[in-house]
Amino acid sequence: MQKSYSRLLGIIGKPNTGKSTFFSAATLAPAEIANYPFTTIKPNRGVGYVRTPCVHEEFQVKDNPRNSICSDGVRLVPIELIDVAGIVPGAWEGRGLGNQFLDELRRADALIHIVDASGGTDCEGRLCRPGEHDPLEDVQFLEHEITMWMLTIIKKDWAKLSRTAEAESKELYAMLEDRLSGLGIKRNHIYEATKKTALNPDKPTNWSEEDVLKFVNALRSISKPMLIVANKMDLPSAKTNIEKLKKLNYTVIPCSAEAELALRRAAEKQLIDYKAGDCNFKILRQDKLSASQIKALETIREKVLLENGSTGVQDAINWAYFKLLDMITVYPVEDLEHLADHNGRVLPDVYLVPHGTTAHQFAYLIHTELGEGFIYAVDARYRKRIGEDAILKDRDVLSIVSTKKRA
Ligand SMILES: Nc1nc2c(ncn2[C@@H]2O[C@H](COP(=O)(O)OP(=O)(O)OP(=O)(O)O)[C@@H](O)[C@H]2O)c(=O)[nH]1
Ligand SMILES: [Mg+2]
């Protein structure tokens, strides 16, 4: 399958919260899962999916996807996930598995913070009495760890960098971008963080220690936007904690990664009819399930799906892509009449692109030549020509007319 993803989601949190369970449920890739801290040492990378209603029903055609999957009107677009080792307080200074895990997050564009909402694991992930630990603490410490990690990198040569920027009238944004590009931090992130903190980019030598910390904190939340997955919602002690977590300044998605993993595995074996993100499932092969398996599935139906509307895993991935990263889906086609590519494949591909992408930029994304020879695009829904600067919308179907064809 041709890849269309370009962003990386990092699954993070303290040890033993269910990160690898979430990863495995989302990707169906094997990952070690156990109820003690630091089960994961080396990161797991795998392919999960963003879920979106496919346009084929609206256009009343039968599609033939290539870079994605279409099932019962649902398009699943591949995206990449990384599950890293647990983070403990002081990790930025080398505690636990230390900085190594943080380095794995350099390329992550958004973070899914898995919190044990049942409060059954302490701040280092060791088992404790359910409800004993306050998961609000986990949110604060994790922010702190990432900020301190970034701060250490910036502070290494901050004095020199800020002096040079002023003495040589070099733009601070460009210098910082150069310094931080390895962390996946872009110029616009730096620009936004200075604006948000109202610090003067022309006088960085005047920034106090506190200013620099404030700046890095802003830079963290802008360059690595995060949502909270309140995992283990199937446990009774999670309820009050989820309400508490929802008061924070984050999107909080109640979740049972364990339930999703059980459903996805049963669906993979065609024992049940279930797609990631569904609000219910249907048992297909009662004869192949034991009484205890049926009971477990029915408990998931009652305690997770009917109570919460879904297991939360797919909601978290979708939220990360569509809200945190502000992406949209766009379907390119060559033959407008049949909504097909040159091989006659109907609605073959769907691309995830950032909101604000223009028709011309989109052409470049598909293929350089298509961008270079761009004349105009046609919006298949309204049969209307659109120019190079037209901003694309979610679920647009576009045909690009270019003087150059794909090689
Ligand atoms: N009740 C319940 N238990 C869960 C859920 N998700 C994960 N667990 C359990 O939590 C424990 C830890 O799961 P892992 O996925 O290994 O956690 P992790 O965060 O990757 O742990 P480390 O790799 O050690 O940092 C296991 O015993 C899982 O079965 C859930 O949704 N509900
Ligand atoms: Mg793990």
pLDDT in tens, 281-296: 999 999 999 999 999 9
**Position 160 pLDDT exceeds 70:** yes
Q: Starting from the CA of residue 12, give the closest ligand.
A: 1
Q: What is the pLDDT of residue 92?
A: 81
Place 407 in a pLDDT band, splitting at 50, 70 and 90: low
**Position 320 pLDDT exceeds 90:** yes
Q: What percent of the chain has pLDDT over 90?
A: 84
Please report, as a single letter, which amino acid is at residue 401.
V
Global pTM reads 0.95
Q: What is the pLDDT of residue 296?
A: 97
Mutate to test the pocket of ligand 1, among 258, 261, 308 (most ligand atoms within 8 A of CB): 258
- Centre of ligand 2 to C-alpha 33, Å, is 6
Provide the token pair at 45: 């990378």
- pLDDT mean over 145-153: 92
CB 340 within 8 A of CB 346: yes
Place 338 in a pLDDT band, splitting at 50, 70 and 90: very high
Gap between the Cα atoms of 43 and 85, Å rounded: 6
Q: Starting from the CA of residue 118, give the closest ligand.
A: 1
- pLDDT mean over 51-61: 97
**Position 337 pLDDT exceeds 90:** yes
Angle at 145 between CA 219 and CA 183, to 5 degrees: 45
- Centre of ligand 1 to C-alpha 179, Å, is 36
Q: Which residues line the pocket of ligand 1, CB cutoff 6 A?
A: 13, 15-21, 33-35, 37-40, 85-86, 231-232, 234-235, 256-258
- pLDDT mean over 67-91: 93
Q: What is the pLDDT of residue 120?
A: 98
User: How far are the Cα atoms of 218, 255, 277, 281 from residue 309, in angstroms, in the given order?
Assistant: 33, 10, 9, 12
Query: Which residues are within 5 Å of ligand 2 (an ion), measured at CB?
Result: 19-20, 39-40
- pLDDT mean over 228-233: 98
Place 103 in a pLDDT band, splitting at 50, 70 and 90: confident
**Position 262 pLDDT exceeds 50:** yes
User: Ligand 1, closest atom to CA 32?
Assistant: 16
- Side-chain half-sphere exposure of 211, counting CA atoms within 13 A: 13
Q: What is the pLDDT of residue 2?
A: 40
User: Ligand 1, closest atom to CA 13?
Assistant: 19
**Which string of b and e fits 132-156 if b means at least 16 CB within 10 Å?**
ebebeebbebbbbbbbbbbbebbee
Q: What is the pLDDT of residue 182?
A: 87
**Which string of b and e fits 259-288 if b means at least 16 CB within 10 Å?**
bbbbbbebbeeebbebbbbbeebebbeeee
Place 3 in a pLDDT band, splitting at 50, 70 and 90: very low
Q: What is the pLDDT of residue 4?
A: 45
Among 401, 393, 399, which Cα is nearest to 329's? 393
**Position 349 pLDDT exceeds 90:** yes
Strand boundaries in 22-181, DSSP class E: 44-53, 69-71, 74-83, 110-116
Task: State in Å, rounded, how far the first CA of the chain is from the last one.
Answer: 20
Place 336 in a pLDDT band, splitting at 50, 70 and 90: very high
Gap between the Cα atoms of 154 and 177, Å rounded: 11
**Position 240 pLDDT exceeds 50:** yes
Helices 187-197, 172-180: axis angle to 10 degrees equals: 120
Helices 257-268, 291-300: axis angle to 10 degrees equals: 130
